[in-house]
Structure 1
Amino acid sequence: MIGLALLLAMLPRDALGTYGGWGAFRDPSPLRCFAIARPVERGRGAPFASIANWPGQGVRNQLHIRLSRARSPNARVTLSIGERRFELRAGDADAWAPDARTDAAVVAAIRDGRSMSVETVAVNGAAFADSYALKGAATAIDAAALGCAGRR
């Protein structure tokens, strides 16, 4: 969590709180509030999982995953939380839920889960997974939602 705090401290934002391994923050321009965490095992790059609210765009609880490695162009990205599996849309090293309905289902699963993992195949053909502890995630998500409530 210290590495996450240092990374985020370099950017202009308001800290809304730290909850377990998750932090909640607000960026003033453009206004967005988000909960964010780093994987349990930190390898390469700066991977993270976040749930964001963008009041100006009417976006609420949007999932964004930064993978720890670039993925193979045709590799699927799967998010697993308990027994639930979600196929994500992905770029080279980022992934998102395909729609708002899936975002809502992911957040509901996070609230009930203990851990989540994001699995795919790297450009070198090796499978990999980034795993996240979910302790504090629900509170951080709520803090981020409150941080942008009634703002535009």
Structure 2
Amino acid sequence: MKVPASLLGLCLLMLAAPVSARDSLGIFSQWGAFRDPSVPRCYAIAKAGPSTRARDYEPFATIGTWPKRAIRNQLHFRLSRKIAPNARISLRINGWYFQLDGGGGDAWAKDRTMDAGIVSAMRSARSMTINATDTKGRRFFDSYPLAGAATAMDAATVGCSKI
């Protein structure tokens, strides 16, 4: 069986930290779900699609749940580049647009209501694209396929339901 490059990259990304820190809850197309009982937290994660443009970081998206903090489905993006101060960070999912907060190489929803809206939009879309301006004034885009995202998010939620 041939393993898609993006799935292989996701697996390598997950192996970058200590193996004992995570339990795999499953790989669903381009998305994986994991539990870290030491925190405790569970999350769905995917790498951005490939790009020929320069990157400062290896971009990924996560949707996390921290049951002891009563946080569920919190979105976080690691962007492919360092963003300019006060840069506008936009996320497009189908016809929906969200203005995210962020700094350095990270972006996130403004609040829990926006997290819920983004997660809802992700469940019915084929892809999402985040864009911003980097520290050199260049626009950049990170795109994510959403096949498997809903199942991975559900697996992460269920994985932390008894913690």
How well do the aligned residues superpose, as a CA RMSD in angstroms? 1.0
| 1:16-35 superposed matches below 5 A | 16-35=25-44
Which residue of structure 1 aligns with residue 10 of structure 2?
A: 4
Deviation string for 1:99-133 (max 9, x for gaps)?
11100000000001000000000101110010000
- TM-score normalised by structure 2 residue count: 0.90
Q: 2:72 aligns with which of 60, 66, 69?
A: 60
Runs of 4+ with >6 A deviation: none
Q: 1:70 aligns with which of 73, 77, 82?
A: 82
Which residue of structure 2 aligns with residue 49 of structure 1?
A: 61
Deviation at 1:94, TM superposition (A): 0.4
Structure 2 residues without counterparts, runs of 5 or longer: 1-6
Q: Aligned letter for 2:15? A: A
SS in 2 for 1:110: helix
Give the distance between the partners of 2:13 and 2:140, measured in 1 at CA.
Answer: 24
- TM-score normalised by structure 1 residue count: 0.96
Query: Is the counterpart of residue 38 in structure 1 residue 50 in structure 2?
Result: no
SS in 2 for 1:103: helix
Which residue of structure 2 aligns with residue 138 of structure 1?
A: 150
Give the distance between the partners of 2:108 and 2:12, measured in 1 at CA.
Answer: 25
Q: Percent identity?
A: 50
Deviation string for 1:29-88 (max 9, x for gaps)?
210000000011156222100100000110000000000000011211011100000111
Q: 2:100 aligns with which of 88, 99, 118?
A: 88
Deviation at 1:150, TM superposition (A): 2.4
Give the distance between the partners of 2:101 and 2:87, measured in 1 at CA.
Answer: 10
Give the distance between the partners of 1:13 and 1:46, measured in 2 at CA.
Answer: 20
Q: Aligned letter for 1:30? A: V
Give the distance between the partners of 2:16 and 2:133, measured in 1 at CA.
Answer: 31
Equivalent pairs, count = 151
